[in-house]
Amino acid sequence: MRELGAIEERLGATVRSLEGMRNRLEASESQVRSLNATVNELKRFNEGKEQVAFSATLGISGTIGPVSNEITLVFQRVLSNVGNAYNPTTGIFTAPVRGLYHFTFTAFDWGWTTMTGASLRRNGQLMVSVYDEKEGGSSESSSNSATFLLQVGEQVYVALWRHGHRISDNENHYSSFNGFLLFPI
């Protein structure tokens, strides 16, 4: 009888131990389900979100202009081009996704009596401009920026004005064009 009592005692301890393990297993399975749900939610949140950003400088050592007709400036020294939406051959950024974008550009020139004038254009439409007129051999930079909605395929570029306007650069990379997607819409 005594042996039977000891066996019952061990059996009871084993049952309690198994119940504890079952409770821990159920808690672990619940936690795994919760983590899987979080991962799936994050995947859905990030699904279709493009990463778009670029930065480029003129990449020349000299001056462009004056020109008789407005020209698209080609910023050929690419510092970054995440998403490959900026074309360093044409100087044109093409929106790969509908969203709110932010652009900046800087125009630098040196010389005695020169003017610098350039515009940020969206599909040919003037968005913002820079202008600087100098005398006496100074070197100056002008910058501007804008934030606006772009549809897929819309294009943004910097144009140098005609009639005496110039832009310069050298190994210090003063003249630049930058843009990035703030968020898709």
Q: Rounded CA gap, 46 and 49, in Å?
A: 5
Q: How confident is the model at residue 46 (pLDDT cuts 50, 70, 90)?
A: low
Kindly report the pTM of this predicted structure: 0.74
* Residue boundaries of the structural domains of the chain: 1-47, 53-184
- 45 vs 16, more confident: 16
pLDDT of residue 120: 98
Please determine, for residue 137, whether its predicted confidence score (pLDDT) is greater than 70.
Answer: no
Q: Tell me what pLDDT residue 25 has.
A: 84
The predicted structure's pLDDT at residue 17: 86
For 53-184, give the CATH class: mainly beta
Burial class of residue 29, CB neighbours in 10 A (0-12, 13-18, 19+): exposed
Q: Is 95 exposed, middle or buried (0-12, 13-18, 19+ CB in 10 A)?
A: buried
**From CA 76, how far away is CA 91, in angstroms rounded?**
7
Which has more confidence, 25 or 89? 89
126 pairs with which residues across the strands? Answer: 121
Q: Are the beta carbons of 50 and 184 closer than 8 angstroms? A: yes
Question: Using one digit for the tens of pLDDT, what is the confidence trace for 55-78?
Answer: 999 999 888 899 999 999 999 999
